[in-house]
């Protein structure tokens, strides 16, 4: 079941996009509940994790029905649509593509008919690093891959085993996957959830009065009225059906949770590994103030992600906190490409200064990251035009110097400004009076997680899961063209050496 014409959306300001979020997943098994509406509101809570597409699959015990489209959750679904999605099991997904193009076919949940004739729908948060190898297995089994997303590759592998149940197929397939995967999937009778052995991306289990919920963030549990039970363990497979909840282990755990979740990806009202994300960000701000003090009149955030750290910086430094920028909450993704005049305005589409607050002040401006530097450069210029005497930029994370292969679409390493310039070079590039990044040690301490249980690769280049030679967001597109017999065009993929090399 689908609607839409497959048009692609455009970033408002694509030449300086921020690190794009991982996807959001949700699954529910509940009797006597409108599960499609629970999924809808949960996806609303997870909208920040993906704005390209949204979808919900439901089962009433006899068939699996999938509805998905490009766009925001509120654009894809209306009440009439949700009322047609009846059942007691649902899987939902908000997508940002880290493997595969932004097309309707790659929206999730993905769907395959199993060899036994049942339906299988799946939502995936993360990114596999052995996709080429897995795609070749699917091609050998099915004669083609039929998709450019690693998520559909997983679905195809689960569906292609004729002599075993979906649960047993999962126990066979999951150990062969390499990379980051937090999965929710379902057939007509059972809800499943699984997390990679490193637990890179978050996944939590919640309890309803008459059912169970699995989802990316605890904030989504709050929205649907579910109580937090625990995190899904790395290397664990959960199954929920009429007999209740059961757990299996498909791999030994080697926890390496994503440190960037604490910086930017997760909602501040989410808890990860027992640590409030908001509290962690405020603590980062306090440590940032100690490491990089400034003689200033006002501490102000770049909303919204810089707000908790700015509060902590103000508390620790004693400098008054204030809102110097107003954010337009309705600027996100759009089908309309901006005109050149509007594009030149750049950041003003999203942020506008409060001149009465800024004029005549020495400012400490707190943000969560600098990627290419274009946004901060425009921001510093805008604040000076609004009357700021000095602009001291403080970043609540270390410099991002390495790409992510586990579910975050950073710029390539050659495009990361901190990779080509030292701190003084970045400061001069963005035009700030001073620049300070929080140290990696302080960020780790604020997370209250042991260093050994965190993936820090984007900051220190230490990848906990080996990266294969061929990687890339569009790597499957070249494979599919070859498999089905068409002349392969230039593949939109790149080698690990390309990705990691210096500019």
Whole-angstrom distance, CA of residue 253 vs CA of residue 232: 11
Query: What's the token pair of residue 282?
Result: 């405020």
DSSP H stretches of helix in 225-332: 260, 277-291, 307-317
Q: Which of 348, 405, 484, 354 is nearest to 99 (CA)?
A: 405
Whole-angstrom distance, CA of residue 473 vs CA of residue 470: 11
Contacts of residue 458, defined as CB under 8 A and 6 or more positions apart, other chains included, come to 260, 400, 401, 402, 403, 404, 408, 410
The answer to whether 108 and 93 are in contact (CB under 8 A) is yes
The answer to whether 19 and 98 are in contact (CB under 8 A) is no
- H or E element in which residue 180 lies: strand 179-186
DSSP state at residue 488: P
Please give the C-alpha separations between residue 471 and each of 87, 98, 129, 486, in angstroms, as whole numbers: 39, 11, 7, 22
Q: Determine phi and psi for 220, rounding to 5 degrees.
A: -70, -30
Q: Which of 414, 366, 431, 357 is nearest to 387 (CA)?
A: 357
463 by Cβ neighbours in 10 Å (0-12 / 13-18 / 19+) ranks as buried
Q: Which of 259, 256, 277 is nearest to 268 (CA)?
A: 277
Q: Looking at 23, 404, 455, 458, which residue is catalytic?
A: 23
Distance of CA 329 to the CA centre of its chain: 19
Interhelix angle 307-317/277-291, nearest 10 degrees: 50
Does residue 455 have an active-site annotation?
no
The answer to whether 59 and 188 are in contact (CB under 8 A) is yes
Around Cβ 89, how many Cβ atoms within 10 Å?
Answer: 25
Whole-angstrom distance, CA of residue 424 vs CA of residue 402: 19
With b meaning 16 or more CB within 10 Å and e meaning fewer, what string describes 341-359?
eeeeebbeebbebeeebbe
Beta strands in 60-178 (DSSP E): 64-70, 89-95, 110-113, 119-128
Active site residues per annotation: 23
């Amino acid at each position: 079941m689908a609607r839409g014409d497959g048009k692609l959306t455009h970033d408002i300001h694509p030449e300086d996009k921020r690190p794009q979020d991982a996807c959001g997943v949700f699954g529910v098994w509940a009797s006597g509940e409108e599960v499609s509406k629970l999924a809808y509101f949960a996806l609303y809570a997870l909208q920040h994790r993906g704005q390209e597409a949204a979808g919900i699959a439901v089962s009433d015990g006899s068939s699996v029905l999938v509805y998905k489209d490009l766009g925001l959750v509120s654009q894809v679904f209306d009440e009439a649509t949700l009322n047609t999605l009846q059942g007691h099991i649902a899987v939902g997904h908000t997508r940002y593509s880290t493997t595969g193009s932004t097309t309707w076919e790659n929206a999730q949940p993905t769907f395959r008919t199993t060899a036994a004739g049942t339906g299988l729908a799946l939502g995936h948060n993360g990114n596999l690093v052995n996709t080429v190898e897995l795609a070749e297995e699917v091609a050998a089994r099915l004669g083609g891959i039929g998709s450019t997303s690693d998520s559909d590759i997983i679905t195809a592998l689960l569906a292609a085993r004729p002599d075993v149940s979906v649960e047993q197929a999962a126990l066979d397939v999951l150990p062969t996957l390499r990379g980051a995967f937090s999965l929710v999937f379902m057939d007509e009778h059972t809800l499943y959830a699984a997390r990679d052995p490193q637990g890179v991306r978050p996944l939590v289990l919640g309890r309803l009065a008459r059912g169970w919920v699995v989802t990316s963030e605890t904030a989504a549990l709050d929205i649907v009225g579910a109580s937090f039970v625990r995190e899904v363990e790395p290397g664990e497979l959960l199954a929920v059906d009429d007999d209740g909840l059961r757990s299996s282990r498909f791999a030994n755990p080697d926890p390496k949770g994503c440190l960037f979740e604490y910086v930017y990806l997760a909602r501040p009202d989410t808890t990860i590994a027992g640590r409030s994300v908001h509290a962690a960000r405020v603590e980062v701000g306090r440590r940032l103030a100690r490491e990089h003090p400034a003689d200033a009149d006002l501490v102000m955030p770049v909303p919204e992600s810089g707000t908790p750290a700015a509060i902590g910086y103000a508390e620790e430094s004693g400098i008054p906190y204030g809102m110097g920028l107003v954010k337009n909450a309705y600027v996100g993704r759009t089908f309309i490409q901006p005109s050149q005049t509007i594009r030149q305005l750049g950041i003003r589409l999203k942020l506008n200064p409060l001149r009465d607050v800024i004029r005549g002040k020495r400012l400490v401006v707190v943000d969560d990251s600098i990627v290419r530097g274009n946004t901060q450069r425009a921001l510093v210029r805008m604040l000076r035009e609004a009357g700021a005497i000095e602009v001291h930029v403080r970043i609540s994370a270390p410099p991002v110097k390495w790409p992510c292969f586990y579910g975050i679409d950073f710029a390539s390493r050659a495009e990361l400004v901190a990779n080509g310039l030292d701190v003084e070079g970045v400061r001069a590039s963005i035009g700030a009076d001073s620049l300070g990044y929080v140290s990696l040690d302080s960020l780790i301490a604020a997370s209250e997680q042991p260093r050994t249980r965190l993936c820090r690769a984007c900051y220190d280049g230490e990848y906990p899961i080996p990266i294969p030679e061929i990687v890339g967001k569009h790597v499957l597109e070249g494979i599919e063209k070859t498999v089905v017999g068409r002349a392969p065009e230039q593949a939109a993929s790149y080698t690990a050496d390309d990705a990691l090399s210096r500019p």
